[in-house]
Structure formats: C-alpha cells, structure tokens
Amino acid sequence: MNIGKAIGLEYGPPTRNAFGEALAAVGQENDNLVVIDGDVGNSTRTHYFRDKFPDRFFNLGIAESNMVSVASGLAASGKDVVASSFAAFLLGNAYDQIRMGVAFPQTNVKLVGSHSGISIGEDGPSQMAIEDIALATSLPHFTVLVPADAPSAAAATRALFSFSGPAYLRTGRPKTPVVYPNGVEFTVGKANQLRDGRHATIIACGLMVAAALEAAHHLSQSGIEVRVLDMHTIKPLDEAAVELAARQTGAIVTAEEHVLHGGLGAAVATAVSQTFAVPMRFVGIHNQYAESGEPQDLLTKYGLLPENIVTAVREAVAQKEPS
C-alpha cells in the first residue's frame, strides 16, 4: 500500500493494534471494563487486554449472535462492555442481536469491528466489511466512529468510554499512514480540519483521510485548494462542519472505504442538501463486492486512490456556479 507516501506520510501500526493497546490501558484504569470476543482476539487485538486481565475477558467462541446478547446482559447489570470481532461478522451475523440488545434498550455496549474495508487484501470479500457503517448508522441511538490512523484510533478507543450508550468503532487490518501525532485528542461528533482551501472540501474517514491529504497536495499543485475534514464520527455527524464547508468552499467530495449506499457520503449528502446544497461527488465502493488481492491493487481496481479523489474534486469544482 502506498497511500500517502507521495506526501511523506509514515506508516504506523494498524488501527486495530492501536485499539488493542488503548483498550488494555483503559482496563488498567477501569476495573469495571469487560471484554468479550468471538475467538478472533489475536486478530482484533483484544488479546492485549486478555493478557493483562484474563478474569475480565471472555472468549465466547465463534458465535457472534450469542456474544452480542451476552454483552447486552453484562451491560444491563452495570458492566462496561466491549464486544469485538471482524466487522463483517459482528455487524452482519449479530445485527438483530445488536438491534434488540444494544440499540433498542440503549445498553452501554461498545462494539469494535476489525478488518474493515477492502484493504484487508488477500482474505477476500467474505472477510471484508464494506457495509458495516451503513448497518451501524441505521441503528437508532448508535454512535459510529471510524478513526483514520493509529493515534486517533487509540484516542477513539478512550473516547468510547466518555459517554454511556451504544457505539461502534471500526478498525482496519493493515499498517496505516499516520496523520496525527501521538496523544491527539478525539472529540466524538467533531470533525477535524486537517487542511484548508477555498475551492472544495474533501470529507473522508478511515484510511481515506490519508488519501484525501495526498489528493489535496496534488490538486494544490494545479491551483485547486481544498479543505480536508477527517469525519471520524459518522454518527452523530458534525453537520455544522459540513454546512460550513459547503458555504465556504462550494463543492464537497466524500471518500470512504465502504459502499456508497448508507455510508459517510450518504450522511454528508443528507446534511448538505438540507443546509446549503452544493455540487458533490462520492468516492467509495460502487454496488459491488471486491475480491482477493494485494491491498494496493484492490484500492486501485475499486477506485479508492488519491487519484480517484482528485478526479472527483475536479468534477465537483467544474460543476460549481461561476462566482
């Protein structure tokens, strides 16, 4: 993978690792925290917690539905609970259990899904969560977080416990370009502006934040200056930041490692159309499943490179009313 390398971004740990380390640290401070996993703790990195707090970790086997309902019961009896598996299986297999046991009763369960997007690579589409944001955001009362890199994933993990109620945190498998310094703050529901520009705004989440920064660099060289927002919280969406971007830059492009239906782009479009309508373009996965392959090859084939964002920005800017 080489997203961000053209602008000198270093690659740091996967966001799943940052989550796992932060979770173990939270466990040190909070002895009410219980972590449960569906027999993939060495992949989701909940094993970092297990190794320190074996009495507060439960491997419930390859049974995500049961796992989520158990989380619901633990939370209803007052425990702080993290339930983790691959995002595809957590949101997919246990969706109804999440609906009934977490969203509807608003229990204090934090779901963490790893191996999101197509950048997991060779394991292929069965393991790739590309619909998880849509599933999670559709649930009333849910907070949905998609951190961009390791430092923000660590901060997002701590932020999960800054409020009571249902949340979903999405993490990724590969090493990820670092856009934030260690120790960065993470405010749920508040977009981070990473770059400013007057011609358009790129609103991105997850791995696509680094791609957006690279795209912004390329665009700048041809005279198009763009704002870049890291929209790490898909829900509740920072609608004020979206509206401001629309009013001040006049064109918006979204970028996400997720299907276009029900993801970041759809949420931003809803906000834009209801506040200050401007031309938009959407970078994401188009109504299809990906395949096995090298992450970089897949990102290329399925249109998730900085170049795709550059093209989208040019189109959106071209559509703007002449000022």
Partner 1 sequence: MTMIRERQLRSRTSIKELQETAWRLSRQILEMTTEAGSGHPSSSLSAIDVMTALYFSGVMRYYSQEPQWAERDRFVLSKGHAAPALYAVLAEAGYFDPDMLSTLRDTDSPLEGHPNMRALPGVEASTGSLGQGLSIGLGHALAARLDGLSYRVYVLIGDGESDEGQIWEAAMAAAKYQVDNLTAVLDYNDFQQTGSVEDVMPSLAPVSDKWEAFGWNVREINGHDMRQCVTALQDVARVNDQPQMIIAHTRKGRGLSPFEKDSVNRKHGEALDEEELATALAELDEEKATVLAGDVEKPELTPEDVHGEV
Catalytic residues: 64
- 57-76 positions binding partner 1, by CB under 8 A: 58, 60-61, 63, 65-76
Contact 37, 60 (CB under 8 A): yes
Q: Minimum CB separation from partner 1 for residue 52, in Å? A: 16
207's tokens: 């791995």
What secondary structure letter does DSSP report for 102? I
Cβ nearer to partner 1, comparing 82 with 268? 82
Contact 34, 56 (CB under 8 A): yes
At 217, give phi and psi (nearest 5°): -60, -50
Q: Rule CB under 8 A: choose which of 2, 39, 79, 92 binds partner 1.
A: 79
Give all strands (DSSP E) within the chain, no chain letters. Answer: 11-12, 33-37, 57-59, 80-86, 109-114, 143-145, 167-170, 176-177, 192-195, 200-204, 226-230, 233-235, 252-259, 280-285
- 136-155 positions binding partner 1, by CB under 8 A: none
Is 205 in a helix, a strand, or coil? coil
Q: Minimum CB separation from partner 1 for residue 204, in Å? A: 36
Q: Minimum CB separation from partner 1 for residue 157, in Å? A: 21
Cβ nearer to partner 1, comparing 59 with 300? 59
Q: Minimum CB separation from partner 1 for residue 37, in Å? A: 12
Cβ nearer to partner 1, comparing 66 with 275? 66
The DSSP result for 4-21, as a single string, is TGGGTPPEE--HHHHHHH
- 80-99 positions binding partner 1, by CB under 8 A: 96-97, 99
Is 277 in a helix, a strand, or coil? coil
Size of the residue set binding partner 1 (CB under 8 A) = 30
Q: Minimum CB separation from partner 1 for residue 31, in Å? A: 9
- 21-60 positions binding partner 1, by CB under 8 A: 34, 55-56, 58, 60
103's tokens: 């969203």
Q: Which residues lie near partner 1 (CB under 8 A)? A: 34, 55-56, 58, 60-61, 63, 65-79, 96-97, 99-101, 104-106
